[in-house]
């Protein structure tokens, strides 16, 4: 059913050389289908992906471009085939906004790994429309990528869970994080602070690793049982073969002491990276001798599925998990992007609607 149609406009990148000077621009949304939900946006988190994309670190952007993929708002129009969401519901959208819904991954409930997946911004729908993100008034999304927000979570807290939170929650649950497990978290930033909150809420013993001494106290307050300063060259030695899982949130990796981190894994332990550095920053090289003697696995993880997102939101509502955020009006996106670039953010900016 149709309601008032929002005007689609947002703070867009218009000149890639001035990547924080966003200008209010109108855009064309995707064609509304029976599977879609139209959402008026109240909040949007500021993700590291936004900065990488605006700075052209992951390749060229399609201009003008509105970024933002930690979106919360209200459903104002719901397609006839949409289940479980009605007009007026509080809902969110994360980093993906579409997939083929036909492939094995999609049918198995792992639509976040669909090879035809459409990203929430800077991607192209099959009809040629460029996707535009959440520093904007409104968005349309396929129901599989729209997450109902439980009453127990405020919108400002839910927003950054939908990419930042889910990106670490997925590898935690995929790798059986729970009581009796020891989980390491590398990097205390937007993602890392969520990894500590969720690993703790799932019942694991949490080890936080940081090279920022001023974040050690924060890591403890977030729930880490142990906090290790990685500036000490031998930081890994006392903890050899002790961790079941390490989630690395580092999004700049050439200097990552990966061998030291791997040496802390127990037999068949897993190292999962979720941070995505710029294209010219490969992971440090590994030799077979680094992996074989202790049977480690090294892998990655991409966001999470709707099923995992709903599990995360339920846990967050039940346990009263609150991310550490700073709220700013959307017009101050520049301030948030600069604060994120200079690593001043503690630990996520959330933009609030000021265009509608």
Stretch that binds Zn ion, among 10-18, 99-107, 148-156, 231-239 (CB under 5 A): 99-107
Contact between residue 315 and residue 198 where contact means Cβ atoms under 8 Å apart:
yes
Does the footprint of Zn ion cover residue 103 (CB under 5 A)?
yes
Element (H, E) at 209: strand 205-210
Per-residue contact flags (x/-) with Zn ion for residues 105 to 134, judged by CB under 5 A: -x-------x--------------------
Question: Which 163-182 positions form the footprint of Zn ion (CB under 5 A)?
Answer: 163
Nearer to Zn ion, 134 or 184 (CB): 134
Say how far apart CA 119 and CA 283 lie, in whole Å: 24
Q: Which long-range contacts (CB under 8 A, 24 or more apart) does 288-292 make?
A: 290/259, 290/262, 291/262
Q: Which stretch binds Zn ion (CB under 5 A): 100-108, 262-270, 274-282, 333-341?
A: 100-108
Q: Does 99 bind Zn ion (CB under 5 A)?
A: yes
Judged by CB under 5 A, the number of residues near Zn ion is 9
Instruction: Give the C-alpha distances (Å, rounded to integers) separating 270 from 90, 128, 139, 294, 296.
Output: 36, 40, 37, 11, 6
Q: Which is nearer to Zn ion, 100 or 216 (CB)?
A: 100
Buried b (16+ CB within 10 A) or exposed e, 318-348: eeebebbbeebebebbebbbebbeeeebbbb
Which of 25, 49, 248, 301 is in the footprint of Zn ion by CB under 5 A? Answer: 49
CB of 174 to Zn ion, least distance (A): 18
| 69 vs 200, beta carbon nearer Zn ion | 69
> Concatenated DSSP letters for 331-349?
GGHHHHHHHHHTT--SSEE
Nearer to Zn ion, 22 or 106 (CB): 106
Q: What distance in Å separates the CA atoms of residue 265 and residue 249, rounded to the nearest whole number?
A: 17
Smallest distance from the beta carbon of 356 to Zn ion, in angstroms?
Answer: 23
- 89 close to 60: Cβ distance less than 8 angstroms: no
274 versus 298: smaller Cβ distance to Zn ion: 274
Least Cβ distance, residue 78 to Zn ion (angstroms):
23
When asked if residue 201 is in the footprint of Zn ion (CB under 5 A), the reply is: no
Residues that bind Zn ion (CB under 5 A): 47, 49, 95, 99-100, 103, 106, 114, 163
């Amino acid at each position: 059913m149709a309601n008032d149609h929002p005007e689609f406009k947002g703070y867009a990148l218009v000149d890639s050389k001035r990547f924080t000077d966003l200008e209010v621009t109108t855009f064309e949304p995707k064609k509304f289908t029976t599977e879609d939900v139209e959402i008026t946006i109240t909040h949007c988190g500021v993700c590291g992906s936004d900065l990488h994309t605006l700075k052209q670190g992951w390749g060229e952007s399609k201009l003008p471009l509105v970024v933002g993929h930690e979106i919360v708002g209200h459903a104002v129009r719901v397609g006839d085939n949409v289940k479980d969401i009605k007009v007026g519901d509080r809902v969110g959208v994360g980093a993906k906004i579409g997939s083929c819904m036909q492939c094995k991954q999609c049918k198995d409930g792992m639509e976040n790994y669909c090879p035809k997946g459409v990203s929430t911004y800077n991607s192209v729908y099959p009809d040629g429309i460029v996707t535009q993100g959440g520093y904007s008034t409104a968005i349309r999304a396929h129901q599989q990528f729209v997450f109902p927000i439980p009453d127990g979570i405020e919108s400002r807290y839910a927003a950054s869970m939908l990419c930042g939170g889910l990106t670490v929650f997925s590898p935690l649950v995929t790798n059986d994080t729970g009581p009796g497990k020891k989980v390491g978290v590398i990097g205390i930033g937007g993602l890392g602070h969520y990894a500590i909150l969720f690993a703790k809420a799932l019942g694991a013993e949490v080890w936080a690793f940081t090279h920022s001494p001023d974040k050690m106290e924060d890591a403890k307050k977030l729930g880490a049982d142990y906090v290790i300063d990685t500036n000490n060259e031998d930081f890994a030695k006392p903890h050899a073969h002790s961790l079941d899982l390490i989630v690395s949130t580092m999004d700049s990796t050439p200097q990552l002491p990966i061998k030291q981190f791997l040496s802390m894994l127990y037999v068949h332990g897993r190292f999962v990276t979720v941070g995505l550095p710029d294209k010219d920053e490969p992971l440090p090289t590994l030799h077979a001798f680094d992996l074989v003697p202790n049977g480690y696995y090294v892998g990655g993880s991409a966001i999470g599925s709707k099923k995992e997102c709903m599990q995360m939101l339920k846990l967050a509502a039940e346990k009263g998990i609150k991310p550490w955020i700073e709220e700013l009006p959307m017009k101050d996106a520049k301030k948030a992007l600069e604060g994120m670039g200079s690593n001043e953010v503690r630990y996520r900016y959330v933009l609030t609607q000021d265009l509608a």
